[in-house]
Copies of this chain bind each other. A is one copy, B any other.
Amino acid sequence: MTSVEHNKGGHVVTMRDVAKVAGVSVATVSHVINDKPGARIGEDARARVHEAVAELGYRPNALAKTLSQGTSRFIGLVADAIATTPFAGQIIHGAQDEAWKNGYVLLVANTDGNKAAEDEAIAMMLEHQVHGILYSSWYHREITVPAMLHQTDTVLVDCFAAGGGLPAVVPDEEQGGRTATEELLAAGHRRIAFINTTTPSPAQSGRLAGYRAALEAAGIDYDESLVFPASPEQEGGYAATSSIIGSGVTGVFCHNDRVAMGLYDGLRERGLRIPEDMAVMGFDNQDVIAAHLRPPLSTVALPHYELGAAGVRILLGLDPSSDTLPTRIACPAIPRHSI
């Protein structure tokens, strides 16, 4: 056993660990180790850094360290849409925080859903001997697992495999739909519409199941004619306005915040006030939109940060997981002023 392996928790020693033991900043450790000329560092601090380096068995070259130990400090994260939604960013953020906490570094690759880019990303990660890979989607869906992923440990994030076979972590769509509907019920609404997406997905079926469960628990009969199909964007919510008004409901649960934003436009054009004339509930808690509509939108948050963090914990064996049933993460209510 080398001194490295004595490190608490079995982690690889990093500059951060040295900084903690020496009681100095990471920047100071870096200056001392790299013997940066001109850096004004007291002899005392310098000595403490050298002592901590010796005590912890720190080696500044992470790559040499990886090779000599035969294990890598990398975790790969394959994401399909970093560039077009903040959702992927929040998954990355959660995964990074959890990885760092455990002494690992994230290798992130964006694929835009392109098969060739995806294979390249996975190949690159295998070449760097990653500890494992998080394979993530920016929206919750069933995927076909790329064959190359079977060459390392893999956790699916915000997606799951047809037929199971790999651990997965996904948002709890049904609980989210129930929570959204319960917010409307709690405000006294009894006749509640649901604008659902036309795209078959776990969100489509799960949020509908949650809507039905909440109504049932409140003793309200499910009325299929109050579920309106719409494209899951502003345009879909706007187009649904007449049907919603014609249905005689007093509250609407929208498939997502973009749909709610379009419905806002439609209701306003007809002179209806939110929430006085119509209560509106969203889903997603999408940045840039939800908090900034007029009035600010009550919604349910998709737990992207938590999905990324849980994915890392499962990969590192810190959280339990199953190869047959995805781990479900709760979607909390975010009350604002539209109900």
> For the complex, is A258 an interface residue (Cβ under 8 Å from B)?
yes
Q: Closest residue of chain B to A235, judged by CB?
A: B292
Secondary structure dominating the interface of A:
helix
B83 touching A120, Cβ below 8 Å: no
Answer whether A292 and B258 are a contact pair too, CB < 8 Å, given A26-B119, A29-B123: yes
> For the complex, is A204 an interface residue (Cβ under 8 Å from B)?
no
A75 CB, min distance to chain B CBs, angstroms: 12
> For the complex, is A105 an interface residue (Cβ under 8 Å from B)?
yes
> For the complex, is A205 an interface residue (Cβ under 8 Å from B)?
no
Which of A55-63, A156-164, A245-253, A323-331 lies at the interface? A55-63
Residues of B within 8 A of A146 (CB): 27
Residues of B within 8 A of A112 (CB): 93
Residues of B within 8 A of A292 (CB): 233-235, 258, 261-262
Q: Which of B83, B108, B120, B289 contacts A90 (CB under 8 A)?
A: B83
A208 CB, min distance to chain B CBs, angstroms: 24
Copies of this chain present in the complex amount to 2
Q: Which of B67, B123, B124, B233 contacts A64 (CB under 8 A)?
A: B67
A107 touching B105, Cβ below 8 Å: yes
B127 touching A62, Cβ below 8 Å: yes
A338 CB, min distance to chain B CBs, angstroms: 14
Residues of B within 8 A of A238 (CB): 294
A229 CB, min distance to chain B CBs, angstroms: 19
Q: Closest residue of chain B to A34, judged by CB?
A: B151
> For the complex, is A116 an interface residue (Cβ under 8 Å from B)?
yes
Contact pattern, A 1-16, Cβ under 8 Å of B = 1, otherwise 0 = 0000000000000111
CB neighbors of B among A247-297 (8 A): 258, 261-262, 265, 268-269, 286-289, 292-294
Residues of B within 8 A of A105 (CB): 107, 124, 128
Q: Which of B16, B89, B147 contacts A82 (CB under 8 A)?
A: B89
A303 CB, min distance to chain B CBs, angstroms: 13
CB neighbors of B among A205-240 (8 A): 233-235, 238
A126 touching B16, Cβ below 8 Å: no
Answer whether A116 and B82 are a contact pair too, CB < 8 Å, given A129-B63, A235-B292, A265-B294: no
User: Across chains A and B, which 4 residue pairs bring their CB atoms closest together, nearest first?
Assistant: A83-B93, A62-B127, A234-B292, A15-B123
A-B contact pairs, 24 of them (CB 8 A): A16-B120, A26-B120, A29-B123, A30-B122, A30-B123, A31-B148, A34-B151, A60-B127, A61-B67, A61-B127, A63-B63, A63-B67, A63-B128, A63-B129, A64-B67, A82-B82, A82-B93, A85-B288, A106-B109, A108-B108, A234-B292, A234-B293, A288-B289, A289-B289
